[in-house]
Structure 1
Amino acid sequence: MWVVKLPPQNSAGAKKLGGSRAARKIPIISLHFMNFQFSSINSRLSQKLTQVNDVCKG
């Protein structure tokens, strides 16, 4: 017969089980990918705003 211990439901026990926040950092590769995606979206948005601004002036 197997005994399965369920994880704690309260926050104090959950912190002990999960460890510190430093142990759960996002991988650097993931951060670089997110930064690249944001830069790409920001660039496209900037181009669209410039086009709208040119149309409004003209």
Structure 2
Amino acid sequence: MTTLPDFTKVDLGTLKGAGAQRVFIAGKTEAPYVDTPIFMGCNAVEVLELAQAELGVAKG
């Protein structure tokens, strides 16, 4: 069994303070500073399009 890091100890506000425009995180959560949770059943196409738009990737 793989042990995953405990992200509840990460100060996600630090990412925003450092200039992050959007914070994506794996798992269903309503944690402060998380803009987009990615989880099984989410609209993956929408999340990927959002990420591409944030990165400035042109649609082709």
Q: Is the pair's TM-score, using the shorter chain for normalization, greater than 0.5?
A: no
TM-score (structure 1 length as normaliser): 0.25
TM-score (structure 2 length as normaliser): 0.24
The structure where strand makes up a greater share of residues is 2
The structure where helix makes up a greater share of residues is 1
Greater length-normalized contact order (CA 8 Å, ≥ 6 residues apart): 2
User: Which protein has the larger Cα radius of gyration, Structure 1 or Structure 2?
Assistant: 1
